[in-house]
Chains A and B, each alone.
Chain A
Amino acid sequence: MSDQESEFKVVLGVIGADCHAVGNKIIAATLISHGIEVDNLGVMVSQDEFIAAAVEGNADAILVSSIYGHGEIDCQGFRTRCEERGLTDIVLYVGGNLVIGKRDFSAVEETFKEMGFDRVFKPSVDLDDVVRLLKDDVYSKRLPPSYGHNSGAFRGKQFDELRFS
């Protein structure tokens, strides 16, 4: 973490009983190198631990990883629980191998968007692209409501660009 006060604060971790640490360490290093302040909770993080850290650190976003297949069980109700704890406009990302078996990514994406995640990423995503999207999403949440943007079209386009990477 840099000594300077950063413009962006995120909470990062691997959810549930998942102990895959390699990607987590790489994501943390990449975010930090782009000037983002990271509260890295590491592996085996519960929903409550993510949310408590976000409340305490006044974070802009929660970045949830899951590579072991239980993501579908572990992530249920995440957005609702955030709202219950007063995190009404926090950016929620999830990425990894989120379900058991080889399921079409668009189906996986839909499942997790229904759970309230703003963006859903494959393990192969370019992290520099994630950083760009993250900064954009945090900025647009900060805009006053009257500046409302057409988030659906905006997001859809950027997502397709990511897909092939």
Chain B
Amino acid sequence: MTQNLEITNTRLNDAEFDAERETVLNSWITGSDVDFRAGVARQEALQPEMRFSCALAEAEATGRTLLQPRAGVALIREHTALLNGLAPYCDVLPTTVDAYTRHNRYREAQDGIDKSRAAGTSLLNGFPAVNHGVEGCKRLVDSLTKPVQVRHGTPDARLMAEITLCSGFTSYEGGGISYNIPYAKKVPLADSIRHWQYCDRLVGRFEDEGIRINREPFGPLTGTLVPPFVSHVVAILEGLLALEQGVKCVTLGYGQAGNIAQDVAALRSLRKLANHYFLSAGYEDYLLTTVFHQWMGGFPENEARASAVICLGAMTAKYARATKIIVKTPHEASGIPSMEANQAGLQATRQMVNMISDQNRIETPEITQEIEIIEAEVHAIMRKILKLGQGDIARGAVMAFEQGVMDVPFAPADANAGKLTPVRDNYGAIRVFDHGNVPLPKDVITFHQEKIADRAKAEGREASFKMVVDDVKAISASKLIGRPAA
């Protein structure tokens, strides 16, 4: 793939941004309603309880954990009713965007809106924010009582950012790597990174006007046996890219893997590592928070079993002191949930979080060891990325993916090597079965190999791709580890 290696991690200048903005706003008819000054005025008029950054800062200061569902349907009235039905059970609201809009296929999104109207039920898997435009999005935000975030999976989300931030959304999920590698097929990585520099710069421009918009890189990536160091490197890179464009409020994410010690270690190390890289790069004026995603892989069909998966995530997140939890529903196995199922997931999570919140911090030798391993892995890869980019992480990131130095398991993107293969160890922690071209330290590779060998021995079989597939299917079949049938 030909990459635009002109990409650098430098702040977009005003002239360049303004010229680009004209093209962005002309890319679909609703772009013509975007007016930055009006957007700033609208954001200024929002009460603090409608601001994501205030909710996060308050949670960070008091140690509370915020709960957030996922939700989005095709039509404004239905979507408003859905969010207001969820609001009593959560702290911050989502607006999950449909898959056509994520690929800038606004014509198909419009067709989905029309067919949904005719059918009397949503045929889209999310809210087509671009098609509804500033007017529609404003109407939505005006009918809510809690902060609302755009959640999607869009490699080029520039127009959506312009429309939603102008309408009063106060948080924007995504990033140039995390919304390409797991969400696209043929988008060159340099292009999506560049498009997300635009989104970050737009947030930076709001910040220049005294308006704080939260930015959240997407942590879980493919949600399937992703080793913590892989998602941590992406989170750190996207945090650095955002800070460079003037973003000040960053939430970094991690998706539950299933082994409690590894998950607690992952979230604790994420915070420490991110602060280390942000401060080393010279950024000091930022608020860093974390988000823990309950299990992103396949769920059991049975709703009671699904609730157990949700509760394991809730417990781990609270032990790891995540600022926010993204909550799953007992309908996860069958796709888009009903409002009632979404409420059930939130209530189960709240109960578990409440029961864990007063308990003491857990320290175990396993957690300590996992933190050491993750730190060694992240440092090794970050070193290589900085080397490849000759100090520039944007260029380094593009080259790292090209060479398989960074590699996300099970990702659809052509820009991803797909050689790194994970598998669970005998305790369910995610280990690296085949490291591909990822430059892990030798002792770390040995550690992974020994852990996998222990499991292979316990199961009386060789580690293989079959074992990996068994692991991918395990949780939906009611176990953490994909053991052979006895």
| Pairwise interchain contact A18-B335, C-beta atoms closer than 8 A | no
Per-residue interface assignment for chain B, residues 319 to 343, with 1 indicating a CB less than 8 Å from any chain A CB and 0 otherwise: 0000000000001011111100100
Alpha-carbon distance A24/B331, docked complex (angstroms): 22
Interface size class on chain A is 20 to 34
Indicate if B465 sits at the interface (CB-CB under 8 A): yes
- Interface-forming stretch among B108-116, B248-256, B383-391, B431-439? B108-116
Per-residue interface assignment for chain B, residues 332 to 368, with 1 indicating a CB less than 8 Å from any chain A CB and 0 otherwise: 0111111001000000000000000000000000000
| Pairwise interchain contact B111-A73, C-beta atoms closer than 8 A | yes
Chain A contact residues: helix, strand, loop or mixed? loop
Per-residue interface assignment for chain A, residues 63 to 96, with 1 indicating a CB less than 8 Å from any chain B CB and 0 otherwise: 0000111101100000000000000000000000
Indicate if B275 sits at the interface (CB-CB under 8 A): no
Q: Of the candidates B102, B224, B335, which one forms a contact with A100 in the assembled complex, judged by CB atoms under 8 Å apart?
A: B335
Min CB gap B434→A, angstroms: 14
Min CB gap A155→B, angstroms: 23
Q: Of the candidates A16, A21, A69, A101, which one forms a contact with B412 in the assembled complex, judged by CB atoms under 8 Å apart?
A: A21
Min CB gap A164→B, angstroms: 11
Residues of B within 8 A of A123 (CB): 298, 333
Min CB gap A89→B, angstroms: 30
Residues of B within 8 A of A67 (CB): 335
Min CB gap B256→A, angstroms: 16
Residues of A within 8 A of B185 (CB): 19, 42-44
* Given A29-B465, A73-B112, residue A22 in contact with residue B123 (CB < 8 A): no
Interface size class on chain B is 35 or more
| Pairwise interchain contact B100-A21, C-beta atoms closer than 8 A | no
Alpha-carbon distance A22/B410, docked complex (angstroms): 5
Alpha-carbon distance A43/B185, docked complex (angstroms): 7
Indicate if A99 sits at the interface (CB-CB under 8 A): yes
Q: Of the candidates A25, A68, A102, which one forms a contact with B99 in the assembled complex, judged by CB atoms under 8 Å apart?
A: A68
Indicate if B400 sits at the interface (CB-CB under 8 A): no
Indicate if B182 sits at the interface (CB-CB under 8 A): yes
Per-residue interface assignment for chain B, residues 274 to 296, with 1 indicating a CB less than 8 Å from any chain A CB and 0 otherwise: 00000000000000000000000
Min CB gap A127→B, angstroms: 9
Min CB gap A22→B, angstroms: 5
Alpha-carbon distance A154/B252, docked complex (angstroms): 53
Residues of A within 8 A of B218 (CB): none
Chain B contact residues: helix, strand, loop or mixed? loop
Indicate if A97 sits at the interface (CB-CB under 8 A): yes
Min CB gap A111→B, angstroms: 12
| Pairwise interchain contact B334-A102, C-beta atoms closer than 8 A | yes
Residues of B within 8 A of A29 (CB): 465, 469
| Pairwise interchain contact B412-A19, C-beta atoms closer than 8 A | yes
Indicate if B426 sits at the interface (CB-CB under 8 A): no
Alpha-carbon distance A97/B334, docked complex (angstroms): 6
| Pairwise interchain contact B476-A124, C-beta atoms closer than 8 A | yes
Alpha-carbon distance A100/B105, docked complex (angstroms): 19
Residues of A within 8 A of B301 (CB): 124
List which B140-169 residues lie within 8 A (CB) of chain A. Answer: 153
| Pairwise interchain contact A17-B112, C-beta atoms closer than 8 A | no
Q: Of the candidates A30, A43, A69, which one forms a contact with B125 in the assembled complex, judged by CB atoms under 8 Å apart?
A: A69
* Given A17-B105, A69-B335, residue A100 in contact with residue B123 (CB < 8 A): yes
Alpha-carbon distance A97/B476, docked complex (angstroms): 14
Alpha-carbon distance A124/B123, docked complex (angstroms): 23
Residues of B within 8 A of A70 (CB): 98-100, 112, 123-125
Residues of B within 8 A of A30 (CB): 469
Beyond contacts A17-B100, A26-B469: 13 other A-B pairs, Cβ-Cβ < 8 A, are A17-B99, A19-B412, A20-B412, A21-B412, A42-B185, A43-B185, A44-B184, A67-B335, A73-B112, A97-B334, A97-B335, A100-B125, A102-B331
